[in-house]
Structure 1
């Protein structure tokens, strides 16, 4: 498997595009900027399966030329948004290990930050293998084990002497994201191989300093308020008051990129996986 790297200008260009979707949600625009930059090294054409499709907005941002796309999501409300988006020919409300499509009927499967949340990962990967044509590809982003290891907020709270609160924050954070598969890069590759899929390329995304700030922002965003809702509701309202925020945060983002010295040890990964032709 080839390990690929990107340069800062690619990632900041990704931010310029992605921040139009999430102008006042810095953790979202931060993470997805890295994904977007990695995806730009690939081309998806033909018939595409979007596994964990959501509302379709991010897919359309990345692949505006794609016209023959089928979505899969298990959330009925999200599926309805996906159907209304105009991105998909059809959207199935099913779990990802039970896709109601014929064998070998897709040229590509796309799974953006969805595989790590799936309880039956082996069955999902087997289903991807079944759905792909020989020679077809799976392009996906996932989190790695560093996503948990580098989580800052619970550690900082515990260091301040509030161990129980730190434990609760970490549990709530993991429950929110439902991280069923926070695997190392090596473990992800083994999972793909066992399903009969070959990992060809790996783009590490979000090295240590970017990961630390992303995880701190995301953890704070999802802290539960005593009266209901999340702190993110308050933060979003605060940031939305400034039309200058997306541009200002871009400068912070650029500074974080300058801090990185090891671009291969990361909390996320983008993989290009292929189903063999034979």
Structure 2
């Protein structure tokens, strides 16, 4: 990106941070029931599926941007902890390989039989967001930076 921008050019970057892997609830559940190998396998499959290679701490992302010739103007934490943990659990379940596909195929079919499922899911998300304690502790960050002059 640095080569594509003129000096002073703005750059908006959305990234995941290290909490994304640390809060992987399905992995933690597998570890808790005494299945450490399965826990590692589930996490590795999840990271491979999402091509996750740079789940760095927010501070490291800022350092890397600076090292790459950008000035970080601000950053906005996104997807707070409770919401992240529930999303990660459901997303991990969704992508589990099951009978020639993903478990999500079965969830989608099952959920499709319920009336008002879209509004109900919005209500669930609204409830999760109300449970958040610290909106600065997140699994993602949006950086606003510019190419140094």
What TM-score, normalized by structure 2, do the two folds share? Answer: 0.94
Does 1:155 find its partner at 2:28? yes
Question: Structure with the greater relative contact order (CA < 8 A, sep ≥ 6): 1 or 2?
Answer: 2
Separation of aligned partners in 1, 2:115 and 2:15: 31
Residue 108 of structure 2: aligned partner: 236
Matched residue SS, 1:242: coil
Tell me how many residue pairs correspond in the alignment.
Answer: 149
Matched residue SS, 2:93: helix
Separation of aligned partners in 2, 1:149 and 1:251: 26
Does 1:172 find its partner at 2:45? yes
Change (3 A) 1:243 1:142: farther
Residue 222 of structure 1: aligned partner: 95
Residue 3 of structure 2: aligned partner: 130
Provide the aligned C-alpha RMSD in A: 1.2
Unaligned runs of 5+ in 2: none
User: Deviation string for 1:4-51 (max 9, x for gaps)?
Assistant: xxxxxxxxxxxxxxxxxxxxxxxxxxxxxxxxxxxxxxxxxxxxxxxx
Query: Which stretches of structure 1, 4 residues or more, deviate above 6 A after TM superposition?
Result: none
Does 1:250 find its partner at 2:122? yes
Residue 60 of structure 2: aligned partner: 187
Does 1:259 find its partner at 2:148? no
Separation of aligned partners in 1, 2:118 and 2:6: 41
Matched residue SS, 2:120: helix
Unaligned runs of 5+ in 1: 1-127
Select which of 200, 216, 220 maps to 2:73: 200
